[in-house]
Structure 1
Amino acid sequence: MRNRALISILASLGAIVAATGALAAGEKHVSVQVVDQRGMPIRDAVVEIERPATSTGAFSFPWRNAMAQRNLAFTPGTLIVPRGSVVAFPNLDTVRHSIYSFSRAARFKFDLYGRDQSRTQRFDVSGTVALGCNIHDQMRGYVRVVNTPFAAKTDQNGIARVEGLGGGSYRVTIWHPQLRAPNNEQSEMLSAPASGQPVRAAVILR
């Protein structure tokens, strides 16, 4: 009986260790902090890590492929979507909007549509799609179309947490509408620690 009890305990401990290991593996991530030329954190910069050769197949992000118009602004102001995505543009304002883009990655225009109506657009080319409204000149929005599942936006501390990767050396692309570089983006190799602590990347803003 004692042997059976001991075997049962050891099996339970093994299951706990395996579950803990699986949890830890599922929590691995790479964090990148983006700062400007003064060392100040940059919010809403897009951080993309080149997809490893071992990562294949379709992917999606945990947020919705949607950009609303609310309070005369695009919400969110920057949206990251996989290439080939269909994005919804619901109007949550009491006024009508007409959305357009002259970007190389996508050229389109939605005629005026009102509250609680929506339009959709498919994005088949990777890159940045800058959006505007023909009625409200102050409205600016950006859809960043990516080829990698390893992408995220920076928070108020300038930190983007990219899930699913452990420590290592990666080619990282950073995009921001005010970044002073061709296509408002810069790429570099960064070495991320296995601890998940942020690795810093400095960019120059206009």
Structure 2
Amino acid sequence: MKTHFLSLFVLMAASAAQAADLDVTVSDTGGKPVPFAVVTWTPKNGAAIPAAVKSASYVMTQKNVQFTPFVLVVPVGATVSFPNQDRVNHHVYSFSPTQPFQLPLYGKGQTRTVTFTKAGTDALGCNIHDSMSAYIRIVNTPYFATTGADGKTVLKGVPEGAGSLRVWYPLMDAPDHEIARSLTAGKTNAPQAFSVKVRARMTQNGSY
């Protein structure tokens, strides 16, 4: 029995020793925090996406005639729900080449779903309300997060070793709206700060 618990402890300790946390801050060139920036970590040799990550709950809500959140990040293979919490009907769509789709008119209390099978970006629009816009970023890694109102986030439990830390934001003035940084994740990592040039927010009308 003691051997069993010791083995379990050793396994847990070894697992913890092989994982790291990455603290990331994203701000614009004026020093203001950038919320809704997508931060991902991709190990040098890649990483499989666990079924539990794919099957987690991912929701893009329609409320007060707008999409919430402005940016949603999901892994390849995830299914996103699009609940309508407004009193008016919505017709959600995307013309993005990553995965174009149409969710014809549906009303309050109704939900539609879309499964995303390819990495990339889908810009969302509503065929009834042109002012509505949002983005779904589909990533091919299980290590992802979005920044909060303070422009900060933490990627927890990333595997130690070499990899690529990426920041994507739909309004970033950069190739493919993304910047990347190569680094080696370890048990102790210096906080990673990114300063990005951001253009004014504007309606994308479901194209990208």
The TM-score with structure 2 as length reference comes to 0.80
CA 1:57–1:141: 2 relative to 1, 3 Å: closer
In the alignment, which of 72, 88, 92 is matched to residue 79 of structure 1?
A: 72
Structure 1 partner of 2:180? 187
Q: CA deviation at 1:80?
A: 1.1
Q: CA deviation at 1:19?
A: 9.5
Structure 2 partner of 1:128? 121
Question: Which secondary structure does the structure 2 equivalent of 1:92 belong to?
Answer: coil
Distance (Å, rounded) in 2 between the aligned partners of 1:75 and 1:38: 26
Structure 2 partner of 1:149? 142
Distance (Å, rounded) in 2 between the aligned partners of 1:58 and 1:167: 18
Structure 1 partner of 2:204? none
The letter of the residue matching 2:127 is N
Question: Which secondary structure does the structure 2 equivalent of 1:112 belong to?
Answer: strand
Aligned length: 197
Identity, % of aligned pairs?
37
CA 1:26–1:167: 2 relative to 1, 3 Å: closer
The alignment status of 1:104 with 2:97, answered yes or no, reads yes
Q: CA deviation at 1:55?
A: 3.5
Query: What's the Cα RMSD here?
Result: 2.8
CA 1:176–1:40: 2 relative to 1, 3 Å: same
Deviations 1:112-156 (Å, cap 9, x if unpaired)? 100111111121110111001111111111111010011110112
Larger Rg: 1
Distance (Å, rounded) in 2 between the aligned partners of 1:54 and 1:65: 23
- Between 1:189-198 and 1:168-177, the stretch displaced more is 189-198
Question: Which secondary structure does the structure 1 equivalent of 2:118 belong to?
Answer: coil
CA 1:93–1:159: 2 relative to 1, 3 Å: same
CA 1:123–1:19: 2 relative to 1, 3 Å: closer
The alignment status of 1:41 with 2:33, answered yes or no, reads yes
Distance (Å, rounded) in 1 between the aligned partners of 2:64 and 2:56: 21
- Between 1:24-33 and 1:114-123, the stretch displaced more is 24-33
Distance (Å, rounded) in 2 between the aligned partners of 1:203 and 1:94: 38
Distance (Å, rounded) in 2 between the aligned partners of 1:167 and 1:84: 25
Distance (Å, rounded) in 2 between the aligned partners of 1:70 and 1:85: 22
Distance (Å, rounded) in 2 between the aligned partners of 1:172 and 1:54: 12
Contact residue 54 and residue 79 of structure 2 kept, 8 A: no
Identify unmatched segments of 5+ residues in structure 2. Answer: 200-208
